[in-house]
Amino acid sequence: MNKRTFKLLFLLLMLLIFSYGLVFHTDYFKIKSIKVVGNQILSYNDVKDMSGLRTGINIFKVNTKQVEDALLKNPYVRNCRVKVKYPNGVEIFIEERQPMAQIKYKEEYLKIDREGVVLEKGRFSPDLLIIEGLKVEKFEVGRKLGDNFNDTLVCKLLGVIDDKKNFHTIRYISQNEVEITTKQGINILLKNPLDVNYSFKFAELILKDLVQRGYRNGKIEIIGDGSAIFVQ
């Protein structure tokens, strides 16, 4: 090895030592900022604690996949993405599951989202739809109520209701038949709809028209995707 090669290798070694020291033994690459975006139900501290991140950690030690997996263990987290912002920042993007309805389980209620995922067990909530007629034998927080529930008209309805404030109860009659109690006093019966979204939106338009005309009781019946019948 000639002197020139030796000097070059020595300089490279010193550069590596310097780089290692800069990366792992200075404050320049230590996390100073943790930003959370998209959370409404979970607090900033909830998300930060679940992530395992904290200020002062070297940013090169952040494993984004591990952080995302940790966050997804929370039933309220539907999706998430962790982005490292060099030299000292981390951004966490959260998509939350929104509680849509509740179904009674023994003396408490299971809160579920529009996909039927159980978010938590707790007290009755006046802001959520009530599901009646279905009996829950067992459940697991963070998972769907079960394959049988997925196949019901109740589950399909949760996926198409945009604004739950006009409705009070979804009563299960059979797998393809439900009765919806509205807060306006007019019920909606759906039976064997081929297109759930079409039938429900059609029923909503009829409900709006009836309310504007002063009706406060009665029932809208839609069988299949055919014409509607209003029974008072």
3-class SS letters over the chain = CCHHHHHHHHHHHHHHHHHHHHHHCCCCCECCEEEEECCCCCCHHHHHHHHCCCCCCEHHHCCHHHHHHHHCCCCCEEEEEEEEECCCEEEEEEEECCCCEEEEECCEEEEECCCCEEEEEECCCCCCEEEECCCCCCCCCCCECCHHHHCCHHHHHHCCCCCHHHEEEEEEEECCEEEEEECCCEEEEEECCCCHHHHHHHHHHHHHHHHHCCCCCEEEEEECCCCEEEEC
> What would the mean pLDDT of 4-15 be, rounded to a whole number?
56
**Each residue of 56-106: pLDDT tens digit?**
999 999 999 999 999 999 999 999 999 999 999 999 999 999 999 999 999
- The domains located in the chain, with CATH, are 31-96 (3.10.20.310), 102-231 (3.40.50)
**Each residue of 97-131: pLDDT tens digit?**
999 999 999 999 999 999 999 999 999 999 999 99
**Each residue of 43-58: pLDDT tens digit?**
999 999 999 999 999 9
**Each residue of 179-223: pLDDT tens digit?**
999 999 999 999 999 899 999 999 999 999 999 999 999 999 999
